[in-house]
């Protein structure tokens, strides 16, 4: 009988009905809600660089450089852990750093990276190969599709839709030593392959067309297109076009 390898820290709290796959590591004071599905090869409570350096220093001079039980115990002791709400699905290959909170009903795709100090609200979806690179906030019911990059100091509201391969930035003059906040308000739609330049605000209900480069703040309920992105219509006009499009082509039967 195959017995999967796991490391579940001594301070970890697991909710009732939670499933844990093979090669899973959960560190620190992590709290996992009820009925959570954690797939194979998932790490929760991964340490920040400063703490890993401390472990390397402690192990310096050790006869063996392999990751033995002592190594995992130190990871567990130093990690602050993370919070996963009820009814979440964490798919294979996901890595979640310490000091991160994920709300009820969220799910990740495969090979998602969520770094430290990320807050994700309820019922959000984070697509495969997406990176939330720390110090990011996301509201409820937001969908982030595959291969999106979100750096520190980006704030995303509720009911936002972000299509694949969207890139956010946080530095106007890379690589400076100053990063600035970018704000995405509620009900925004951002099309595939768009780039959002640092320090702007995209107002409530705005739509960013696919492939746009957004260099200036966008007014609420405005649709912008192009490089650089410029207003072309209102959200009301956009929604009318979307409804007509759905009627003429039919709606895909999402599973």
| Angle at CA of residue 251, ends 248 and 255, nearest 5° | 170
> Which residues have a Cβ under 8 Å from the Cβ of 243 and sit 6 or more positions away?
none
Query: pLDDT under 70 in the chain at which residues?
Result: 1-3, 61-68, 249-255
- The answer to whether the CB of 106 falls within 8 A of the CB of 87 is no
Q: Name all domains of the chain by residue range, CATH numbers in brackets.
A: 6-249 (2.160.10.10)
Structure-token match 């320090």, residue found: 199
Q: CA distances (Å), 239 to each of 40, 111, 233, in order?
A: 41, 33, 10
Longest dimension (CA), the chain: 70
For the CA atoms of 189, 193, 194, 197, the dihedral, rounded to the nearest 10 degrees, stands at 130
Q: What pTM was estimated for this model as a whole?
A: 0.92
Instruction: Identify any residues that bridge with 95 across adjacent strands, giving them in sequence order.
Output: 43, 113
**What would the pLDDT profile of 196-212 be if each residue is shown by its tens digit?**
999 999 999 999 999 99
5: CB partners within 8 A, 6+ apart = 22, 23
Identify the pLDDT of residue 56.
81
- State pLDDT tens for residues 63-104: 555 566 777 888 899 999 999 999 999 999 999 999 999 999
pLDDT score at 133: 97
pLDDT for position 65: 53
Query: What is the per-residue DSSP string for 45-87?
Result: EEPPHHHHHHHHHHHTT-S--S--HHHHHHHHHH----EE-TT
Q: Residue 68's pLDDT is what?
A: 65
- pLDDT the model gives residue 3: 58
Q: Tokens 């990176």 correspond to what residue?
A: 131
How is residue 173 written in tokens? 């003059």
């Amino acid at each position: 009988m195959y017995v999967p390898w796991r490391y579940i820290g001594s301070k970890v709290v697991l909710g009732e009905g939670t499933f844990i796959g093979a090669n899973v590591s959960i560190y620190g004071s992590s709290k996992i809600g009820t009925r959570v599905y954690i797939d194979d090869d998932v790490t929760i409570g991964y340490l920040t660089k400063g703490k890993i350096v401390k472990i390397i220093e402690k192990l310096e001079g050790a006869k063996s450089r392999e990751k033995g039980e002592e190594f995992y115990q130190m990871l567990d002791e130093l990690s602050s852990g993370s919070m996963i709400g009820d009814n979440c699905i964490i798919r294979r290959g996901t890595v979640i750093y310490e000091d991160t909170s994920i709300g009820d009903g969220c799910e990740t795709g495969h090979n998602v990276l969520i770094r430290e100090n990320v807050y994700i609200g309820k019922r959000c979806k984070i697509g495969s190969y997406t990176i939330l690179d720390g110090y990011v906030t996301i509201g409820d019911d937001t969908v982030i599709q595959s291969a999106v990059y979100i750096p520190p100091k980006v704030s995303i509201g509720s009911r936002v839709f972000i299509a694949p391969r969207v890139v956010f930035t946080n530095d106007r003059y890379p690589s400076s030593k100053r990063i600035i906040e970018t704000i995405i308000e509620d009900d925004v739609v951002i099309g595939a392959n768009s780039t959002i330049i640092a320090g702007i605000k995209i107002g409530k209900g705005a739509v960013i067309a696919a492939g746009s480069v957004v260099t200036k703040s966008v007014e609420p309920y405005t649709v912008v297109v192009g490089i650089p992105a410029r207003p072309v219509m209102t959200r009301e006009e956009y929604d009318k076009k979307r409804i007509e499009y759905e009627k003429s082509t039919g709606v895909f039967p999402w599973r």
